[in-house]
Amino acid sequence: ARAAGPTDQDIQKDAETPGDVLTYGMGLQGQRHSTLKTINTETIKKMVPVWAFSFGGEKQRGQESQPLVHDGVIYVTGSYSRLFALDARTGEKKWQYDARLPEGIMPCCDVVNRGAAILGDKVYFGTLDARLVALNKDTGKVVWNKKVADYQAGYSMTAAPIIVNGKIITGNSGGEFGVVGAVEARDAETGELVWTRPTVEGNMGTLNGKESTMTGTKNASWTGDLWQTGGGATWLGGTYDAETNSIFFGTGNPAPWNSHLRPGDNLYTSSTLAINPDNGEIKWHFQTTPHDGWDFDGVNEFISFDLKKDGKVIKAGAKADRNGYFFVIDRTNGKLQSATPFVTQTSWATGFDLKTGRPIYNDANRPPNPMDGGGAAAGQGKPIFAAPSFLGGKNWMPMAYSPDTDLFYVPANEWGMDIWNEAITYKKGAAYLGAGFTIKPLFDDYIGALRAIDPKTGKIVWEYKNPAPLWGGVLTTAGNLVFTGTPEGYLKAFDAKTGAEVWKFNTGSGIVGSPITWEMDGEQYVSIVSGWGGAVPLWGGEVAKKVKDINQGGMLWVFKLPKA
């Protein structure tokens, strides 16, 4: 028997039990929907902060975490691989764990961490040096600490793990360094590896010298040896659907970015994979950007939901992809139901073929081969303008789905980029892009747009425009509310049906975290982490200049209604 604490059954039921938050995604399906409605479009006008907690000084920025709540304790990760356990009623610190990171870690896009997992008496999280740590939930003492991959080869870990039937399931980061993506399952009690599923064809037999439990697959969709450093990082973690017993992981960009160096589809990069949690087998794959040439990547979360259409219910899943399309896919077999643009496009594809599930490419919008010349300097290809930018119509920040309104709430961004290709050869631990870029806004008055999307039609039902790019997660509740944060510092709440803004509070730094809500002592609470950072200030080109004044930091805020 497992020591006292949440069980596998508690984790599977997380979405139905508002007294705790046991999973990243507020339920393994990742819907980020709460059944609570004490706080609603009317009562929220009175909502106030109860307490706040500071993450401290050093390297505190890019707070992309979603807190967990169990038995009156909040478990929240901070940037730079920290984990805090806090009294949920007072904010008092119970313990803090700071991973001791080596020199030379190589996260591509800031020192972020998106959250922890909990099972029994342990809490778990991944660290920037690509290790997975299990801590005793009451004391913060290390129970086990496993190396997942070699940080000196560019591997890191930024995603929250998920737990499915006693296994802790993780992805990896490092697509910009020519790593090989993988999904891995470990025994949550001991940390021993149960299976490893590489995500790049050609690597199915071994991974990093370790024996893989998978049978070999030929590298048919790659040229030469490029599959050995092919990317496809699983850097955002996954979701799980018990009805189909599938884990869904997105995979990142193929490496290098210069697509002319790697003819072929480059499976299974820029895809969604449905994986059997028992043995790591791929049940189906859907490649959103075959032969990706824009760093469109494809890690975005896949959220299971019931698609009610033409009097039928289809077991579906949705993904708002970095490539700017909103996909609805049959989650039992990977068959495309619809693909609709949700941001402005420069027609890199004119649409998706519903029969084959493939994009209809517009070759004029693929960044040209540097061998053809025409670039600004020797060895550079001709630049083109493409939208969305490589930071995506939507990046890592998770959308939410409400079964009450049947709408998805998507944190989107409107921007494009000048992009050109360059020559590159692989060198262990060095950036492996073969491309250069500058991001540019498309409109004067806004970049971010929270969009309510009807999955039956792909139509945008309402939108909220934000001056700075949106980079935080979304939460929706039975109180007809949608919550998200802004880089300007506000946690905002909107009417889920109309998009009317009903409440806001400034948290003192930019928000790039994901909000949660739970019930405690008969009252409803809301919480968000604040602390600007992530990829935008690092890679945002003209946009980065506009947002560089935002102060960084790290704070957890907790809100509720005043006592009646």
C-beta of 115 vs 252, nearer to Ca ion = 252
Give residue number: closest CB to ligand PQQ: 175
C-beta of 26 vs 108, nearer to ligand PQQ = 108
Work out how close the CB of 156 gets to Ca ion at its nearest, in angstroms, rounded to a whole number.
12
Binding partner of residue 396 among Ca ion, ligand PQQ, none, CB under 5 to 8 Å per kind? ligand PQQ
Q: Which residue among 84, 235, 294, 437 contacts ligand PQQ (CB under 6 A)? A: 235
C-alpha closest to that of 314 among 332, 302, 300: 332
Output the CA angle 365-371-372, nearest 5 degrees.
Answer: 60
Backbone phi and psi for residue 51, each to the nearest 5 degrees, phi listed first:
-160, 165
The response to whether 158 counts as a known ligand-binding position is yes
Of 20, 241, 265, 295, which residue is the catalytic one? 295
CA–CA separation, 2 and 404 (whole Å): 36
The response to whether 306 counts as a known ligand-binding position is no
Name the strand (E) or helix (H) holding 385: strand 384-386
Name the strand (E) or helix (H) holding 318: strand 312-320
Sequence-separated (6 or more) residues with CB below 8 Å from residue 371: 260, 381
What is the SS3 assignment for 257-272?
A: CCHHHCCCCCCCCCEE
Report, in angstroms and rounded to the nearest whole number, the Rg of the chain calculated over CA atoms. 22
Q: Look-up: residue for tokens 């492996």? A: 432
Work out how close the CB of 233 gets to ligand PQQ at its nearest, in angstroms, rounded to a whole number.
3
241-280 footprint of Ca ion as x/- string (CB under 5 A): -----------xx---------------------------
C-beta of 261 vs 491, nearer to Ca ion = 261
C-beta of 393 vs 479, nearer to Ca ion = 393
C-alpha closest to that of 413 among 399, 401, 395, 400: 395
Q: What residues does 102 pair with on adjacent strands?
A: none
Binding partner of residue 118 among Ca ion, ligand PQQ, none, CB under 5 to 8 Å per kind? none
| 175 is an interface residue for ligand PQQ by CB under 6 A | yes
| 173 is an interface residue for ligand PQQ by CB under 6 A | yes
| 268 is an interface residue for ligand PQQ by CB under 6 A | no
CA–CA separation, 68 and 71 (whole Å): 10
C-beta of 252 vs 393, nearer to Ca ion = 252
Backbone phi and psi for residue 56, each to the nearest 5 degrees, phi listed first:
100, -165
C-beta of 23 vs 395, nearer to ligand PQQ = 395
Q: What residues does 86 pair with on adjacent strands?
A: 74, 93
| 531 is an interface residue for ligand PQQ by CB under 6 A | no
Work out how close the CB of 252 gets to Ca ion at its nearest, in angstroms, rounded to a whole number.
4
| 5 is an interface residue for Ca ion by CB under 5 A | no
Q: Is the CA virtual torsion 187, 192, 198, 199 positive or negative?
A: positive
| 64 is an interface residue for ligand PQQ by CB under 6 A | yes
Q: Which residue among 237, 252, 436, 540 contacts ligand PQQ (CB under 6 A)? A: 252
| DSSP SS3 for 172 | coil
159-198 footprint of Ca ion as x/- string (CB under 5 A): ----------------x-----------------------
Q: Which of residues 81-140 bind ligand PQQ (CB under 6 A)?
A: 108-110, 112
From 197-205, 337-345, 390-398, 444-452, give the range in contact with ligand PQQ by CB under 6 A. 390-398
Backbone phi and psi for residue 314, each to the nearest 5 degrees, phi listed first:
-105, 130
| 396 is an interface residue for ligand PQQ by CB under 6 A | yes
Q: Look-up: residue for tokens 């790049």? A: 200
- Which stretches does DSSP call E strand in 82-237? 82-87, 93-98, 117-119, 122-126, 131-136, 142-147, 162-164, 167-170, 182-187, 193-198, 206-207, 210-211
288-317 footprint of Ca ion as x/- string (CB under 5 A): ---------x--------------------
- Name the region of 373 (left: φ>0; alpha: ψ -120 to 50; beta: rest): left
| 180 is an interface residue for ligand PQQ by CB under 6 A | no
- The whole-angstrom distance between residue 141's C-alpha and the CA centroid of its chain comes to 28
From 39-47, 77-85, 169-177, 358-366, give the range in contact with ligand PQQ by CB under 6 A. 169-177
The response to whether 64 counts as a known ligand-binding position is yes
Give catalytic status of residue 295 as yes or no: yes
Q: Which residue among 174, 359, 367, 381 contacts ligand PQQ (CB under 6 A)? A: 174
Which residues lie near ligand PQQ (CB under 6 A)?
64, 108-110, 112, 158, 173-176, 233, 235, 252-253, 297, 391, 395-396, 534-535
Catalytic residue set? 295
Which residues lie near Ca ion (CB under 5 A)?
175, 252-253, 297
- Per the annotation, where are the binding residues for pyrroloquinoline quinone? 64, 114, 158, 395-396
